[in-house]
Amino acid sequence: MPKRYILLHVKKLALGLVLLPLFLLFSCNTSDLFEEYRGVNLISSYAFDSAGWTKDRSESYYMNFESVAAAEAGTTSGLPDGAAIYRLEIPNLMPDGDFETTTAGSLPAGWSDTGGTNQVAATGIYGQSLAYDIDNTQRLNFTLSTVADSFSANGYYLIRFLLNQPAAVFDYHDGTSSSFLAKPWKLAGLSGVTAFPTTEDDPEILAQTGGTFSINDIAQTESIVQSGKLDNFRVVRTDISNTVSLNVPYQETDRLDLLPGTYRFSVYIKQEPASNISPTVKNRFPATGITLQIEGTPDYISNGYAYAVHYPTDEGVDWSSWTQISVDIHGLNPSSQPDVGIDVSITPNDINDKDVGSILIASPSLEFLPDS
């Protein structure tokens, strides 16, 4: 064999002997590069009773975010030890929307009629209800300026309630003209207790000074004889947000830095015992859902993006005990904008179908998921 080939093989063998220990070192090194991040709550210092959480709205008639004692919450079973429990609520703008504070035999505040027999009944759909009996020339009216925010002009609102009657005509008159029908609704073929709006109705209205909701319509073009009951009458403003949120900076003293990758925001939720269809707490209703959102800066665009998960209540959901829910977001790069960090937020309804409602929340957490 030529000398140069022997020399080449010797050099390759020497290089192999040098690299072999390095290969064995790294191949046998099973340490977890992200071990210190796994299972770590990056917002452990931001329980709901800590500074940092902010509400979108300061007005108590739009939003409540308040501490709740463990006894009032019903139980702390299933929660991390010492978790601060808070109520997150979009209140009913309608005063006495469940009709529980009105004396039976009277009309609630803000309501008037043009005839017929109309009064709060001691029994009805759920507890006291508004019972009415009118012909096709009569109306039962609610003056919308008596809601908690005075029906802010040019704001958008939803009207919701339960009714128990086979057919109904309702009307929103915006006060601009005695002959102008701003929003009439006609329902037929109903049985049992029906939730308004039905899937066929658009209940959103634009607020105007002098706005009135009526049973039967002001022009009497669609009016019918009606005899039935209303309950759980809710008014919610839809052109404003009702979230509680927290900004998590890229770097913080005594906390791991935010790394590029996937993050999970979680929170424990529970339907509070006093918030149900029985009027244990007057004019408070259970949340129809909850929305978690996480927002940050990804690698591939500069203006940030958000991801939200909606948890609507339905027959398959049981929130009578504490349940942890979460939302994940992939591809964040918090260090690309260190002053921005990550924003997390909670809204006490399904934002695709707004309603009033209250829910208990506790123990928020933000985790980095290195394997996702």
CB 335 within 8 A of CB 342: no
Q: Dihedral through CA 352, CA 353, CA 357, CA 362, nearest 10?
A: -20
40 phi, psi to nearest 5 deg? -90, 130
Q: Which of 255, 246, 280, 275 is nearest to 358 (CA)?
A: 275
pLDDT digits (tens, 9 = 90+) for 323-343: 999 999 988 888 877 778 899
pLDDT < 50 regions, the chain: 1-28, 302
The pTM score is 0.86
Report the DSSP beta bridge partners of residue 205.
157
pLDDT at 55: 95
- Element of type H or E holding 12: helix 3-27
Q: How far apart are CA 213 and CA 149, in angstroms?
A: 16
HSE-CB for 275 with a 13 A CA cutoff: 24
pLDDT at 25: 38
- Element of type H or E holding 72: helix 70-73
CB 307 within 8 A of CB 298: no
DSSP letter for 150, please.
Answer: -
CB 85 within 8 A of CB 70: yes
pLDDT at 221: 86
Domains of the chain: residue spans and CATH: 54-92+240-369 (2.60.120), 111-237 (2.60.120.430)
Q: Which of 92, 88, 91 is nearest to 65 (CA)?
A: 88
Question: In angstroms, how far is the first alpha carbon of the chain from the final one?
Answer: 54
pLDDT digits (tens, 9 = 90+) for 33-60: 889 999 999 999 999 999 999 999 999 9
CB 239 within 8 A of CB 151: no
Peptide bond into 338 cis (omega under 30): no
Q: How far apart are CA 111 and CA 93, in angstroms?
A: 15
pLDDT digits (tens, 9 = 90+) for 264-273: 999 999 998 7
Report the DSSP beta bridge partners of residue 117.
133
70 phi, psi to nearest 5 deg? -55, -40
